[in-house]
Structure 1
Amino acid sequence: MGKASSREWTRIYLIYGMDQWQAFVFLLCQAILFSVLSILYLYYFNEISHTFQSFLSMAAVSGGAARFAAGFTGSVTALSALCLFYAATNFFYSAVPLHSEMAQRIVDTVPDWSTVRLVLDLGCCGRGILLNTAAARLKKEGGLGKIIGLSGPSPVELAATLRAAKVEGLEEYVTCRTGVATKLPFLDGTFDAVVSGTFVHTVGREQTADVAAAERGRAVAELVRVLKQGGIGVVWDLLHVPEYVRRLQEMKMEDIRLSERVTAFMVSSHVVSFRKPTHHLHGPPEVRLDWRFC
């Protein structure tokens, strides 16, 4: 698929759509509402000022103060509209163009795809942007590699993922199955590479904070378990990536790299990559900043 250009994201959107579009529509509607209120404030400013003055006259507040209060309220309304438009734009950008770009960066982190035979996309989020980006690389290498997308139990989501792979001409490289991230249905050392995009933070989200953190730790441990010795893991996720880094350090993973912050869905996100050692290590591993993601 390659890195998305300004002219390609429309094609990406047509194929994959946008998950959680309700949030985008809600933000956009709120932005439009506040914009309309701002225009009404500007058009009826004198009348609104008089209304403020009538309310504040009982407190012996001057007319100038009433006009200031009306102007301040209108300014806050206009600023809220701008913030909501920005949030809606960032949400859309994160869901489509940024997701495609980060998928390509995740794939580029795996150094040698010619040796990769089996890949796991943990979470297989959305319609499979990351899944199909990895499948496209396998196809480009001309090998017999396969990628398995593991998702939740929704048959609608799985059907949409497989449909997108067919549209991209990658169906022979892609398969999907359901499972739980904290107990993956695969044997130890099954995969040459494991990738994941904006999924692990959702593990245990319905639990308390401590329980959710423990569940995310189990998901990271499972990711490591199913990875072959010498295999590469790459996780792009929101909010909790430093927590994953600590877990990987505890498990003695090698070549742990942490990207700088990337704003996605109005929060901070990072990419962490690592390699499963082929032998037991002693001492804490080094964590490096990977400037490729900046």
Structure 2
Amino acid sequence: MGKTSSREWTRIYLIYGMDQWQTFVFLLCQAVLFSVLSILYLLYFNDISHTFQSLLSIASVPCSAARFAAGFMGSVTALSALCLFYAAANFFYSAVPLHSEMAQHIVDTVNDWPTVRQVLDLGCCGRGILLNAVAARLKKEGSSGRVIGLSGQNKTELAATLRAAKVEGVEEYVTCRTGDATTLPFLDDSFDAVVSGTFVHTVGWGHAADVAAAERGRVVAEVVRVLKEGGVGVVWDLVHVPEYVRRLQEMKMEDIRMSERVTAFMVSSHVVSFRKPTHHVHGPPEVRLDWRFC
């Protein structure tokens, strides 16, 4: 996977911004707060130790124990500041530079772009970073194909996605629409490729674990259903990717591959790719597998 230069990161951020920026700001503010507390602990350590000694004298705790308690609290505060700074940095990196790098990795996973005519970006998260990466590849190949971005009911976010596509110069290759990922509004065998970035794990949020897992399984089944025979699916997601691999194995998909672990948003993530097999059945009666219910 190629690295993105800092200039490209800046351009990406200016075009797409950052989803859930409130989380980044919250983590950064907490990190600054704990840093200030750590400095105060260092400057007024003796006073704080005396305060601890006064509080613990009721229980006849030795003076050395009070100083240890004060030092321990100061150390925990300093370590908390470092962890929060790291979390804020990782969140920013995951939302902008890493998302762009993974989008390029996903695009590169699909080898036969000259033959691709219809692509689905499931979730089109990140305001269209992956969506526009696919569109840029179609444009580079001189293809007449299109990429459809499917998202939830947030039409404001879709408008931002279309504006980003216009800035990137690929608006003629992009279509956006809303829909339910567990019952995709497309016919069987509609797409040459289906891609998705950090979306499937959000399906089923707020439900019990087994219900959410079943919902994610339905999304995987829907991805397979709308793929053409011989089509390629590539999904980058958080935490649950081994679960998708098992589901794809149950559905007899071919060339299933899972990438090495990549830390994104402070958790593990992987890319899983697969190919929908081509079945040639000769002689009557023709038997076709219903991908929705396997």
- How far is the alpha carbon of 1:56 from its aligned partner? 1.1
- Is the contact made by 1:48 and 1:70 (CA closer than 8 Å) also made in structure 2? yes
- Could you tell me which residue of structure 1 aligns to residue 292 of structure 2? none
Q: Sequence identity, in percent?
A: 85
State the alpha-carbon separation in 2 of the partners of residues 74 and 186 from structure 1.
Answer: 58
- How far is the alpha carbon of 1:58 from its aligned partner? 1.6
3-state SS of 1:230 partner:
strand
3-state SS of 1:183 partner:
coil
2:103 counterpart letter in structure 1: A
- Could you tell me which residue of structure 1 aligns to residue 76 of structure 2? 76
* 1:243-285 Cα distance to aligned partner (Å, 9 max, x none): 000100011000000011100000000000000000289xxxx
State the alpha-carbon separation in 1 of the partners of residues 159 and 6 from structure 2.
Answer: 28
2:203 counterpart letter in structure 1: V
Structure 1 portions without partners, runs of 5+: 282-294
* 1:153-176 Cα distance to aligned partner (Å, 9 max, x none): 111001000000000000000010
- Could you tell me which residue of structure 2 aligns to residue 125 of structure 1? 125
State the alpha-carbon separation in 2 of the partners of residues 212 and 244 from structure 1.
Answer: 13
3-state SS of 1:88 partner:
helix
- Could you tell me which residue of structure 1 aligns to residue 33 of structure 2? 33
- Could you tell me which residue of structure 2 aligns to residue 284 of structure 1? none
* 1:198-221 Cα distance to aligned partner (Å, 9 max, x none): 000011112111110000000000
- Could you tell me which residue of structure 1 aligns to residue 105 of structure 2? 105
1:89 counterpart letter in structure 2: A
3-state SS of 1:182 partner:
coil
- Could you tell me which residue of structure 1 aligns to residue 240 of structure 2? 240
- Could you tell me which residue of structure 1 aligns to residue 90 of structure 2? 90
- Is the contact made by 2:189 and 2:229 (CA closer than 8 Å) also made in structure 1? yes
* 1:1-294 superposed matches below 5 A: 4-279=4-279
State the alpha-carbon separation in 2 of the partners of residues 143 and 133 from structure 1.
Answer: 14
Structure 1's consecutive aligned runs of 4 or more residues displaced over 6 angstroms after TM superposition are none
- Is the contact made by 1:194 and 1:233 (CA closer than 8 Å) also made in structure 2? yes
1:11 counterpart letter in structure 2: R
- How far is the alpha carbon of 1:3 from its aligned partner? 5.4
- How far is the alpha carbon of 1:4 from its aligned partner? 2.2
- Is the contact made by 1:122 and 1:181 (CA closer than 8 Å) also made in structure 2? yes
RMSD: 1.2
2:34 counterpart letter in structure 1: F
2:271 counterpart letter in structure 1: V
State the alpha-carbon separation in 1 of the partners of residues 251 and 226 from structure 2.
Answer: 14
State the alpha-carbon separation in 1 of the partners of residues 115 and 206 from structure 2.
Answer: 39
* 1:125-178 Cα distance to aligned partner (Å, 9 max, x none): 121000000000000001101000000111100100000000000000001011
- How far is the alpha carbon of 1:61 from its aligned partner? 1.7
- Is the contact made by 1:3 and 1:104 (CA closer than 8 Å) also made in structure 2? no
State the alpha-carbon separation in 1 of the partners of residues 52 and 4 from structure 2.
Answer: 51
State the alpha-carbon separation in 2 of the partners of residues 240 and 87 from structure 1.
Answer: 21
- How far is the alpha carbon of 1:7 from its aligned partner? 2.2
State the alpha-carbon separation in 2 of the partners of residues 89 and 126 from structure 1.
Answer: 17
State the alpha-carbon separation in 2 of the partners of residues 219 and 257 from structure 1.
Answer: 18
1:119 counterpart letter in structure 2: V
- Is the contact made by 2:122 and 2:149 (CA closer than 8 Å) also made in structure 1? yes
TM-score (normalised: structure 2):
0.94
1:147 counterpart letter in structure 2: V
- Is the contact made by 2:149 and 2:177 (CA closer than 8 Å) also made in structure 1? yes
* 1:42-84 Cα distance to aligned partner (Å, 9 max, x none): 1111100000000111222221211111011000000000000
* 1:110-133 Cα distance to aligned partner (Å, 9 max, x none): 011000001000011121000000
Structure 2 portions without partners, runs of 5+: 282-294
State the alpha-carbon separation in 2 of the partners of residues 87 and 47 from structure 1.
Answer: 32
State the alpha-carbon separation in 1 of the partners of residues 167 and 61 from structure 2.
Answer: 67
State the alpha-carbon separation in 2 of the partners of residues 197 and 24 from structure 1.
Answer: 19
- Is the contact made by 1:126 and 1:157 (CA closer than 8 Å) also made in structure 2? no
